[in-house]
Chains A and B, each alone.
Chain A
Amino acid sequence: MAFATGTRESYQQELAAIRQAGLFKEERYIRSPQGADIEVEFPAGAPAKKVINLCANNYLGLSSHPDVVEAARRGLDARGYGLSSVRFICGTQDIHRQLEGKLTEFLGTEDTLLFPSCMDANAGVFEAVLTDQDVMIADRLVHASIVDGMRLCKAATDTYKHSDMKHLEQKLQEHQDKQRRLIITDGVFSMDGDLARLDEIVALAEKYDAMVFVDESHASGFIGRTGRGTHEHCGVLGKIDIVTTTLGKALGGASGGCVSGRRELVELCRQRARPYLFSNTVAPVIVSGAIKVLELISGTTERRDKLEWNTKYWREGLTRIGLDIKAGESPIVPVMLYNAKLAQDVARDLFAEGIYVVGFFFPVVAKGQARIRTQLSAAHDQGHLDRGLAAFAKVGEKYGILGLGKNEIIAKYGA
């Protein structure tokens, strides 16, 4: 027997250790389409409970939009369920190139290549375009998928302190002996919701002959005046060499991602990126839905504008209640609790009040930075937000944290 008793026991011990550390992730079963209102079965076996969803990446509320669902259905009828192939054998349909063209136009780049996910795009892009003569200089808070991609690449690795442009400049100076330099950052950072200083990063890249990579997963569709992303917000459209982003958040929320940018770099990914070469093509049903999403958000900024209004209303509401939030302008709004148990307790009580949020703590965020990450959606209306604020006020009062700042919360609960 390959999976001998001792082997099984060793894995059971590992799982027990994860539980003991309070890091065990449990799935909650949702019995409805994704949206502002969802039905959640939690714990498993419990009757489904109607709650307001404040933790989805459904920023534009398009995950279950009837036009997107209808387009996906038409795509299913017209192009089938699957292609049983990678892209370069017999897995590329006309609609794949159509979607890549629309993404190129939307992101303001030269070309685009679809991947099964943005995780895959980030895993494959660095190895495809860099060699051991080059260097990658990354913000220290980039997404885990970027870290994995960098580990797969033979280029030298270096980092700069989060959003510290002086430190980045110092690193660029240190690496002038390398053949190529690639600055790597998220557009919007997923934990704090803060934006990269892309205008300054691009200026440094021009000064020190470096390329710029930006992961726009938490930005595409809604950051910037017309939702093009952080590069639009910072006034550097067309100046980013590599953009990766996802179709799994604002852009329909299904799955799929892409590398978009300079024509030559995208072509190199088509030739070399292993997740592209060895993974199945993105399913036609998702491609069809994503094309519709881009049509919807290219024609009007209505959803993006509503999300902006919701974000402002929510941020102001939480501040008025007296909760400690991370300042910023993105629809990622972390409510800071600093203590891991407190974050879990508050999330549990909010669920009882009909608000679905999740507590995050180390190692997802830094030690002593436990929080509840709330995320706004254009699918929320003011009623949802008011009910959410009322629940946060009630639970916040129960724990005596309203009006308290960081030091006071830590003094009360520890970090």
Chain B
Amino acid sequence: MNEPRRIEIDLTGTSAFRDDDLEVLRTTLQTIVTLSLECRDEPCEYSRQMHREGWDVHWGLTWIARARRGGVTEEATGATRSEVLLRLQQLTSLHEVDGCP
């Protein structure tokens, strides 16, 4: 039987978490859980099926950011949080106004 896998995160000396720290911690744990538990046969079968249908499939964990104003939603994805927020800002800047017909 394999040794149980264990992840330890040393939180000593970090009495005051900032929101950013918590976000990093949450994302790290979520990534580990996702890769450990969810990446089993089903996703691979989905991938194989798309491959059979001619799609060249790549996947990976990514940041996503959404902005909503009234009925308009913009969404961006990217490798880092700053990248994704920059992309989102670029998309939302197209909506300064709706414009006249």
Contact = CB atoms under 8 A, between A and B. Distances in A.
A366 interface: yes
A147 interface: yes
Nearest to B91: A157
Contacts of B38: none
Interface stretch (A135-143, A277-285, A349-357, A376-384): A135-143
Contacts of B96: 140-141, 366
Interface string B64-100: 0000001000000000000000010011011111111
Contacts of A138: 94
Interface residues of B, number: 13
A191 B97 CA distance: 10
B13 interface: no
A303 B99 CA distance: 27
A34 interface: no
A233 interface: no
A313 B16 CA distance: 68
A175 to B, nearest CB: 11
Contacts of A140: 93-94, 96
A127 B49 CA distance: 27
Interface in A140-166: 140-144, 147, 150-151, 156-159
B100 A373 contact: yes
B54 interface: no
A190 interface: yes
A409 to B, nearest CB: 20
Contacts of A141: 96-97, 99
Interface size class for chain A? 20 to 34
A143 B94 CA distance: 9
B101 interface: yes
Contacts, number: 45
B91 A191 contact: no
A364 B70 CA distance: 13
A45 interface: no
B98 A364 contact: yes
A363 B99 CA distance: 8
Name the residue in B70, B90, B97, B99 with the highest tally of chain A Cβ atoms < 10 Å from its Cβ: B99
A362 interface: yes
Contact of B94 (A147, A364, A365): A147
B99 A157 contact: no
A159 B93 contact: yes
B98 A159 contact: no
A338 interface: no
A305 to B, nearest CB: 25
Q: Closest 3 interchain pairs by CB?
A: A190-B100, A159-B93, A147-B94
Interface of B: 70, 87, 90-91, 93-101
29 contacts: A138-B94, A140-B96, A141-B96, A141-B99, A142-B99, A143-B99, A144-B98, A144-B99, A147-B94, A147-B95, A150-B94, A151-B91, A157-B90, A157-B91, A158-B90, A159-B90, A159-B93, A159-B94, A190-B99, A360-B100, A363-B70, A363-B98, A364-B97, A364-B98, A364-B99, A364-B100, A365-B97, A365-B100, A366-B97
Given A157-B90, A364-B99, 19 more contacts: A140-B94, A141-B97, A142-B94, A144-B98, A144-B99, A147-B94, A156-B87, A190-B99, A190-B100, A190-B101, A191-B97, A191-B100, A362-B97, A363-B97, A365-B97, A365-B100, A366-B96, A366-B97, A373-B100
